[in-house]
Amino acid sequence: MCGSIGTRIRKYLDERRNHRTRLVTKDGRCNIEYGNVKYSKHFAFLADFWTTLVEARWRFVFFNFTATHTLTWFIFGLLWYWIVRNNGDLTWQNPSPDHTPCVWGVAGLTTAYLYSLETQTTIGYGVRALTPHCPGAVALVTIQSVLGAIINCFMCGLIMAKISLPKKRAKTISFSPMAVISPRNDYLCLSIRVANLRKSLMIGSQIYGKLLRTTTTQDGETIIMDQVNIDFMVDAGKDNLFFICPLTLHHIIDKSSPFFEVAVDTLHNQDFELVVFLDGTAESTSASCQVRTSYIPREIMWGYSFLPIISRSRDNKYRVDFSNFSKVVPVATAHCAYCFHNIKGHHHHSREGQDNPGFEVIEITESQDATKM
């Protein structure tokens, strides 16, 4: 029991450490914060207030929605109270029986607030009504009606903009939780899988990657976030993907690849983060969006390949089996990229476990059971 608790604690600490060191989380959020920003720079957010409001959290949007309407109702309520007071319509002013009020039914501050609310929201209960005998009251009801319409349009546009944010479309784009390294078409490839969960296409989809690592230059300068381009491709190329079904994307590990010096026994000791981006335009909304995810060394499996997930049904339709989306099977793979490209006849270990000098012999069973990541 104590052992299981200790294992859970170590696993939790490992997950926390991995979460802190990630620049991009698995769901695409950037793990970065800005410090020592000059206070004067905060006014730039007010100048670009529309973007600031759209990017604000929903609770702040609802607070601003409620506060804006309530404040305008109260301010115009004070103005209506001032108008009826100047006209002598209030109860405590004891108007004469033949007195003509500016607004029927407004006899105090509370009723003035209620009349302001009814005017701006166009409720009109019929208890309080404007008379044509006060030009100032006619001008005020016109101003409040126009301003109320502007506020309603702005708030409705803000809520619609937040609902239709392109990053919401990105929620239906899914990456495989693990990446794999295995041979493919006489190349050693790092592969990931991506799926579009909607039937509507992503037009002009392009995928690319960035390898983030800490490097030291020849001058002794340490670069904390050195970025190296990682090219991905499918069998048909790397540009303008036909993203109608799940795709398996491949990065060829050759001499120009930053993964060329990585081996099976040193992969998990590396310190890097592979960030993968997918850019495209939603067919239904014509909105551009970007989907992001990342892989750390512990999330890359050497010597595995993805299971096929596309088949053809009896009624001659193509069928996608998402139960195999993240499942892999072991395949014979060289211990390192150098072995794959330079050692003739020893590009792969056999199923019987052929000796390879300089590496530990690993027994590989005959089982072909799929492994779910």
Q: CA-to-CA distance for 190 and 276, rounded, in angstroms? A: 12
Q: Specify the CATH number for 169-342; select among 3.40.630.10, 2.60.40.1400, 3.90.550.10, 1.10.1040.10.
A: 2.60.40.1400
In this predicted structure, the answer to whether residue 365 has a pLDDT above a threshold of 50 is no
When pLDDT is averaged across residues 47-54 and rounded to a whole number, the result is 85
Q: CA-to-CA distance for 204 and 240, rounded, in angstroms? A: 5
User: Between residues 68 and 52, which one has the greater pLDDT?
Assistant: 68
Please answer whether residues 133 and 100 qualify as being in contact, where contact means their C-beta atoms are separated by less than 8 angstroms.
yes
In this predicted structure, the answer to whether residue 321 has a pLDDT above a threshold of 50 is yes
Smallest CA-to-CA distance from 290 within 48, 56, 30 is with 30
Q: What are the residue boundaries of the structural domains of the chain, listed by start?
A: 58-164, 169-342
Angle at 32 between CA 50 and CA 300, to 5 degrees: 125
Mention every residue, 6+ apart, whose C-beta is less than 8 A from residue 124.
118
In this predicted structure, the answer to whether residue 338 has a pLDDT above a threshold of 80 is no
pLDDT of residue 353: 38
- pLDDT band (50, 70, 90) for residue 93: confident
pLDDT of residue 317: 80
When pLDDT is averaged across residues 77-92 and rounded to a whole number, the result is 92
Of all residues in the chain, the percent with pLDDT exceeding 70 is: 84
User: Between residues 129 and 353, which one has the greater pLDDT?
Assistant: 129
Amino acid at 321: D
When pLDDT is averaged across residues 215-239 and rounded to a whole number, the result is 78
Smallest CA-to-CA distance from 122 within 151, 101, 100, 102 is with 151
User: Between residues 359 and 157, which one has the greater pLDDT?
Assistant: 157
Kindly report, residue by residue over 284-297, the tens digit of the pLDDT.
888 888 889 999 99
Q: Do domains 58-164 and 169-342 have the same CATH topology?
A: no
pLDDT of residue 373: 54
Question: What is the overall mean pLDDT for the chain?
Answer: 82
Mention every residue, 6+ apart, whose C-beta is less than 8 A from residue 161.
54
Residue 49 token pair: 């207030």
Amino acid at 157: G
- pLDDT band (50, 70, 90) for residue 300: very high
Kindly report, residue by residue over 343-363, the tens digit of the pLDDT.
655 444 433 433 444 344 444
pLDDT of residue 372: 55
Instruction: Find out if CATH 1.20.58.220 is the number for domain 58-164.
Output: no
Minimum mean pLDDT among 113-122, 233-242, 318-327, 344-353: which range? Answer: 344-353
- pLDDT band (50, 70, 90) for residue 41: low
